[in-house]
Amino acid sequence: MVCIKLNSKPAYVKLPEGKKETYDDYGPESLESWHKKNKLYKA
């Protein structure tokens, strides 16, 4: 699981439990490239 934009998350919102990558803003790669890399891209 990847959780992005945590710098905009209200304090009352809890992240799901389990293994995850977290980023205050967007991650180091584009959303499109992440979806392509994980075979989740739908044109």
What is the tens place of the pLDDT at every residue in 1-43?
A: 989 999 999 999 999 999 999 999 988 999 899 899 999 999 8
Total number of domains constituting the chain: 1
Q: Is residue 28 part of a domain?
A: yes
Q: Is residue 18 part of a domain?
A: yes
pLDDT of residue 22: 96
Q: Is residue 42 part of a domain?
A: no
pLDDT of residue 4: 93
Q: Is residue 43 part of a domain?
A: no
pTM: 0.67
Q: What domain range is 6 assigned to?
A: 2-37
In contact, 12 and 31? CB cutoff 8 Å: no
